[in-house]
Amino acid sequence: MSSIEQIRQEITTATCANAEELEAYRLKFISRKSVIGELFAKIKEIPGPEKKAYGQQINELKTLAQEKFKQLVSSLEKEEAGTEAPPVDLTLPSSKAQPGSMHPITITRNRIIEIFEKIGFNVSDGPEIEDDWHNFTALNFPPNHPAREMQDTFFIEKNPDIALRTHTSSVQIRVMETRQPPIRTLCPGRVFRNEAISARAHCIFHQVEGFYVNENVSFVDLKQTLFHFAKEMFGKDTKVRFRPSYFPFTEPSAEIDISCNICKGEGCNICKYTGWVEIAGSGMIDPNVLQNCHIDAEKYTGFAFGMGIERIAMLKWEIDDLRLFTENDIRFLDQFKAY
């Protein structure tokens, strides 16, 4: 009991001038290994008739210590709030402002939109978390297509029919479900694929898809549209070629190459010494896709194309590592202040 009285006196007279002293008080009287905690541990040594009185004394001591701690915290906060800040020396030079810059992906995205807006395209958007219908089925992907496998797509665990969209083609379906031709729109956005991150690939990247649906739309319209884009984005001397390809949602399909703007077609490591670099995939919209969106495929035709914004940016500024776009290295981003 004499120990309890001594501790009570220490608590009653305790003062704290700073945060360090407050923490020392907490450790001594409130923490699990405090002196009061040691008194609780000794309760088993107290004879039976005296345990009740002893326990009451310790509980009162614990309450006193907690209340005192609150008082000390409040007192310290008031002292800190009342402390006057040192006077400001107005003669000191100001810190140099660091102007920011737009991200190269944003610059490239805006430029792509600007080029296509001039020839009649508007901009559409859609959700990044998509259902199976909009991301695969309506786009003519068969049930056993590899893109539906876990190694290619990020599926939502609790619902296997919901996934992070693998392309902005899902926006194409949403637009055609709600609008009737003529439709001419551009769908930029972020997409997700289950790929290992490297200098040439990333699990998160940006894509832009464009499509045009109307009466009598032909492959010639597609070629002239992308020919115009390549000239505007990479320069009038850029050459364009189309190679036959396959996509589930277009038929016929083609991949678009441009002459390498780095080596001017002579061959370098960027173009793998072929003189050509791929920039997009394209094709005539499959009639099944139009029918899935309740558009009369006998009356209307259309074309679609899709390209990676990172790929365009890498070619535009001769960037050789895709990871630079997401690492937020200020030395890399500072190079785009002029744009």
Segment 158-184, tens digit of pLDDT: 777 888 999 999 999 999 999 999 999
The answer, yes or no, to whether residue 218 has pLDDT greater than 90, is: yes
Tokens encoding 21: 């002293």
Distance from C-alpha of 187 to C-alpha of 166, rounded to nearest angstrom: 13
Distance from C-alpha of 192 to C-alpha of 278, rounded to nearest angstrom: 20
Say if CB 302 and CB 284 are below 8 A apart. yes
Per residue in 44-73, pLDDT (tens digit) is 787 877 778 888 888 888 888 889 888 888
Q: Name the CA radius of gyration of the chain, rounded.
A: 34
- State the pLDDT at residue 85: 67
CATH among 2.60.120.590, 3.30.70.260, 3.40.50.300, 3.30.930.10 for 104-336: 3.30.930.10
Residue type, 264: K
Question: By CB neighbour count within 10 A (0-12 exposed, 13-18 middle, 19+ buried), where does 268 fall?
Answer: middle
Say if CB 304 and CB 297 are below 8 A apart. no
Per residue in 71-117, pLDDT (tens digit) is 888 888 887 776 666 788 888 888 777 777 889 999 999 999 999 99
ω into 188 cis (within 30 of 0):
no
* 16-30, 148-162, 180-194: least confident range: 148-162
The answer, yes or no, to whether residue 120 has pLDDT greater than 70, is: yes
Per residue in 287-327, pLDDT (tens digit) is 999 999 999 999 999 999 999 999 899 888 888 888 899 88
Q: What mean pLDDT is reported for the chain?
A: 87
- State the pLDDT at residue 260: 82
Distance from C-alpha of 8 to C-alpha of 1, rounded to nearest angstrom: 11
- State the pLDDT at residue 90: 84
- State the pLDDT at residue 149: 63
The answer, yes or no, to whether residue 151 has pLDDT greater than 60, is: no
- State the pLDDT at residue 87: 80
- State the pLDDT at residue 294: 93
Distance from C-alpha of 66 to C-alpha of 62, rounded to nearest angstrom: 6
Distance from C-alpha of 30 to C-alpha of 179, rounded to nearest angstrom: 68
Q: How many angstroms separate the Cα of 82 from the Cα of each of 14, 17, 76, 79, 121?
A: 21, 14, 10, 5, 61
Element (H, E) at 277: strand 276-285
Question: By CB neighbour count within 10 A (0-12 exposed, 13-18 middle, 19+ buried), where does 195 fall?
Answer: middle
The angle formed by the CA atoms of residues 46, 52 and 58, to the nearest 5 degrees, is: 80
Tokens encoding 117: 């807006």
Per residue in 178-192, pLDDT (tens digit) is 999 999 999 999 999
- State the pLDDT at residue 61: 86
Distance from C-alpha of 197 to C-alpha of 291, rounded to nearest angstrom: 37
- State the pLDDT at residue 112: 96
Per residue in 240-297, pLDDT (tens digit) is 999 999 998 999 999 999 988 777 777 776 677 888 888 999 999 999 999 999 999 9
Tokens encoding 86: 């040192």
Per residue in 132-145, pLDDT (tens digit) is 889 888 998 877 76
Residue type, 104: P
The dihedral through the CA atoms of 53, 56, 62, 63 has a sign that is negative
Q: Where are the domains of the chain?
A: 2-80, 104-336
- State the pLDDT at residue 319: 86
* Maximum alpha-carbon separation in the chain: 102
Q: Are strands 183-192 and 159-164 parallel, antiparallel or unpaired?
A: unpaired
